[in-house]
Chains A and B, each alone.
Chain A
Amino acid sequence: MTPFKYFLAKNTSDASFLFENHPRASFIAGGTNLIDLMKENVSRPDTLIDINKIPGIDQIETLNNGGLRLGALVKNADTAYNEIVRQKYPLLSDAILAGASAQLRNMATNGGNILQRTRCYYFYDTAVPCNKREPGSGCSAVGGYNRIHAILGASENCIAVFPSDMCVALAALGASVNIHGSQNERTIDFMNFHRLPGDTPHLDNNLQSGELITSIDLPPESFNAHYSYLKLRDRTSYAFALVSVATALKIEGGLIKDARLALGGLAHKPWRNTLAEDFLKEKDPIAANFAEAADIILEEAKGYEHNAFKINLAKRAIIRNGLTAANLKKI
């Protein structure tokens, strides 16, 4: 690990000030991903700015519009087990609990979860080319062993996938991300937060240098009657998704009135396709309709040497999870 300097930020403006004076710094909260990357020399910040003691961004609070604000510093476990989240946004709770281990969820924060980096093994291996780690060096996954890699939205420069479960639910729920910068505060819609790799795979998201996530807002519509998170992986716990699906439905009079389908493990960001969601509106929640929605989403899918199985797996996951969400009896 490269030695670094350490500062404890007192508040958000102090964090911004410290960053301005140490432009090669990283902010650290839970650190579960960053420290691992530092041990592997993938990340080499010369300074860490510890944001754990910043007041005011470590709570979950109800918003005036009926939504919910999740502080960036709230731990993943505290979010998943929060009574309001469990009752009102069970999809989010289930997705968080499908990820990582109990220990990691006790450490990892909501802001950090959004900012976690791909687990592509070539990204982690500093001995091989990787455009995300070293722009312009090439992609070892294209033409390499790419079983865990993307089938949607990839580019010739990068076929890495974004590993978060929590973010798949946040995408489905239509969350937004509140950001503090040294000049201004701003909010980004969740689907505009993460990026596709394109020609700039080193950029995971649209957060600018020095900006800090302060909270995540959930809209009032919570889909707590018909929802399901399905995660398919190589072992049944404590592994990243090969394919995951967050399905949220609004059903009235037996017909789907609103549908959200977000996919994980398939792309450089949580994947949504509004054409497929619109297709489901006013339809019966039956397998044939979920299959057609899956076909709309996967029409543009492209398999590589070792991951083409994900296309079929994703389709079956979308159908199964749609039926699970539709037939859910609890509220």
Chain B
Amino acid sequence: MEINENDVSSRMEEHSISIKINGKQITLKTQPWVSLLDLLRERLNLTGTKKGCDHGQCGACTVLIDGKRINSCLTFAIMYDQASVTTIEGLADEQLHPLQQAFIDHDALQCGYCTPGQICSAAGLLMEGNAHNREDVKELMSGNLCRCGAYTNIVDAIMVVKEGKNDSF
């Protein structure tokens, strides 16, 4: 395709992508510089995923891509054509996801702004299977900051789900 370097409209070119978001296949057009986070929040109204630092430092924007947790602020939506994205809105089915219930049960938040990212990150952590004890959970959750300092309860909530004790709580 010939692109005229001086033609603003061609520079603003939109690309068509098809992404499965929370189980639903969506085809839309996006400009290449739109982050996955902005696509979710601004285009698809999935505002559960939060914008904190927008630099990959706080983890509030964590979502799952094909089951793996990533920072949606540090990636362009256009790079996820044909991928499957799960956000906090897609974790629960009929009932709350066990992590969501555990966060409530353990009072694992104060203001709640970091919570969607914490829960998506924890879901990724459990699927990855590399955390074998409480120390591992703390280390592998270090990409999610909580400025209210609810860390102790967050780790409690994750440990309960990890050990399958959620129902007995």
Q: Does B95 contact A (CB under 8 A)?
A: no
Contact with B along A228-254 (1 / 0, CB 8 A): 000000000110000000000000000
In angstroms, how far is the closest chain A Cβ from the Cβ of B138?
Answer: 8
CB < 8 Å: which of A50, A52, A81, A103 contacts B143? A103
In angstroms, how far is the closest chain A Cβ from the Cβ of B121?
Answer: 7
The B-contacting residues of A in range 213-267, CB under 8 angstroms, are 237-238
List of B residues within 8 angstroms of A30 by Cβ: 75
- B62 engages A28 (CB within 8 Å): no
- A4 engages B74 (CB within 8 Å): no
List of B residues within 8 angstroms of A238 by Cβ: 142-143
Q: Does A192 contact B (CB under 8 A)?
A: no
If over half of A's interface residues share one DSSP class (helix, strand or loop), that class is named, otherwise mixed; here it is mixed
When chains A and B are docked, how far (Å) is the Cα of A98 from the Cα of B10?
43
The B-contacting residues of A in range 37-78, CB under 8 angstroms, are 38-39, 48, 50, 52, 77
Q: Does A1 contact B (CB under 8 A)?
A: yes
- A101 engages B59 (CB within 8 Å): yes
- A104 engages B143 (CB within 8 Å): yes
Contact with B along A295-330 (1 / 0, CB 8 A): 000000000000000000000000000000000000
CB < 8 Å: which of A5, A36, A81 contacts B32? A5
- B121 engages A103 (CB within 8 Å): yes
The A-contacting residues of B in range 76-121, CB under 8 angstroms, are 76, 78-79, 121
List of A residues within 8 angstroms of B56 by Cβ: 32, 36, 101, 103-104
The tally of residues in A whose CB lies under 8 Å from a CB in B reads 27
- B140 engages A102 (CB within 8 Å): yes
Contact status of A31 and B140, CB under 8 A, knowing A102-B125, A104-B56, A106-B69: no
* Nearest chain B residue, comparing its CB with the CB of A104: B56
When chains A and B are docked, how far (Å) is the Cα of A81 from the Cα of B125?
13
Q: Does A143 contact B (CB under 8 A)?
A: no
When chains A and B are docked, how far (Å) is the Cα of A39 from the Cα of B32?
13
CB < 8 Å: which of B68, B75, B124 contacts A35? B75
Q: Does A17 contact B (CB under 8 A)?
A: no
Q: Does A6 contact B (CB under 8 A)?
A: yes
When chains A and B are docked, how far (Å) is the Cα of A1 from the Cα of B68?
27
When chains A and B are docked, how far (Å) is the Cα of A35 from the Cα of B31?
15
When chains A and B are docked, how far (Å) is the Cα of A52 from the Cα of B12?
23
Additional A-B contact list (14), CB under 8 Å, known A35-B75, A48-B76, A101-B59:
A6-B76, A31-B76, A35-B76, A36-B56, A48-B32, A102-B124, A103-B59, A103-B71, A103-B124, A104-B143, A106-B124, A107-B74, A237-B138, A238-B142
